[in-house]
């Protein structure tokens, strides 16, 4: 009996937390016909520096879950995504373009159920844009190469930045590295992988 009670308490706590932090919004399912003020499809294409595909083309290259998050601004469920509790050493790259975005060195346990970082891997990779959807003022993050939505950044993170980049696992791909010393080399190698993937996407965009 007490186990059930505990489960209920934990569930209520988690639901309250989510509702406090996301305005109760869990997925696009609650948002009919884009009524929440978030245009779908090409919404992000204006800010993409390298890759601009049509909605149909994005649906070809992304999984439905990736599309829902990256192109339609969905938010995946907390604690039910691949990287919220990922502790291995490595880098996190854009699920669409392979662009290196975050390092395990900057990942911290936020307790939110989403992968959280104190900063991006380097400047100029993760874009910021004020997001006033759902009656809130938040700062949204996107991949500068494809404009794909990644998550939001909040000012309640730990040292050294005091920032909390709250990301969706669906927008990321984790590349494990042997050790912390290997991270710079992994970033360099991934930049080449990303350049190839971006070229492929540009070909698709042009076809
Ligand atoms: Zn990208």
Note if 36 is an active site residue.
no
| Domain assignment present for 138 | yes
Angle in degrees, CA 93, 97, 101, rounded to 5: 30
Q: Closest Cα partner for 96 from 26, 44, 46? A: 44
- How far does residue 22's CA lie from ligand 1's centre (Å)? 23
For residue 48, being part of any structural domain is answered with yes
Position 194 in a domain: yes
Look at residue 201 and tell me if it is in a domain.
yes
Tell me whether residue 75 is in a domain: yes
CA–CA distance, 2 with 103 (Å, rounded to integer): 40
Q: Is residue 17 a part of any domain in this protein?
A: no
Distance 48 CA to ligand 1 centre (A): 8
Task: For residue 66, give the CATH number of its domain.
Answer: 2.170.150.20
Indicate whether 79 belongs to any domain.
Answer: yes
- CA-to-CA distance for 139 and 17, rounded, in angstroms? 19
Per-residue pLDDT at 49: 87
Question: pLDDT tens digits, the chain, 207 residues: what are they?
Answer: 445 444 444 444 444 343 333 333 333 333 333 323 333 333 544 688 899 999 999 999 999 999 999 999 999 999 999 999 999 999 999 999 999 999 999 999 999 999 999 999 999 999 999 988 888 899 999 999 999 999 999 999 999 999 999 999 999 999 999 999 999 999 999 999 999 999 999 999 997
Please tell me the distance between residue 143's alpha carbon and the centre of ligand 1 in angstroms: 5
Residue 179: give the domain boundaries.
Answer: 43-206
Q: Is residue 67 part of a domain?
A: yes
Q: How many domains does the chain have?
A: 1
Instruction: Tell me which residues have their CB within 5 A of the ion that is ligand 1.
Output: 94, 96-97, 99, 143, 145-146, 148
Using CA atoms, how far apart are residues 116 and 106, in angstroms rounded to an integer?
8
Rounded to two decimals, the pTM is: 0.78
């Amino acid at each position: 009996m007490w186990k059930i009670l505990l489960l209920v308490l934990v569930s209520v706590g988690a639901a309250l937390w989510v509702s406090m932090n996301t305005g109760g919004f869990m997925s696009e399912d609650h948002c009919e016909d884009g009524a929440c003020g978030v245009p779908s499809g090409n919404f992000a294409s204006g800010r993409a520096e390298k890759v601009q595909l049509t909605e149909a083309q994005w649906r070809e290259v992304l999984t439905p879950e990736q599309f829902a998050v990256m192109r339609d601004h969905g938010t995946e469920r907390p604690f039910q995504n691949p990287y919220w509790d990922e502790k291995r050493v490595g880098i996190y790259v854009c699920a669409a373009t392979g662009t290196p975005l975050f390092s395990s060195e900057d990942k911290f346990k936020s307790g939110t159920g989403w992968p959280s970082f104190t900063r991006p891997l380097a400047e100029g990779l993760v874009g910021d844009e004020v997001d006033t959807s759902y009656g809130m003022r938040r700062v949204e993050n996107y991949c500068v190469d494809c404009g794909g939505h990644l998550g939001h950044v909040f000012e309640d993170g730990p040292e050294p930045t005091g920032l909390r980049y709250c990301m969706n696992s669906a927008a990321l791909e984790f590349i494990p590295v042997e050790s912390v010393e290997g991270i710079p080399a992994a970033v360099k190698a991934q930049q080449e992988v990303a350049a190839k993937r971006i070229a492929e996407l540009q070909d698709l965009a042009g076809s």
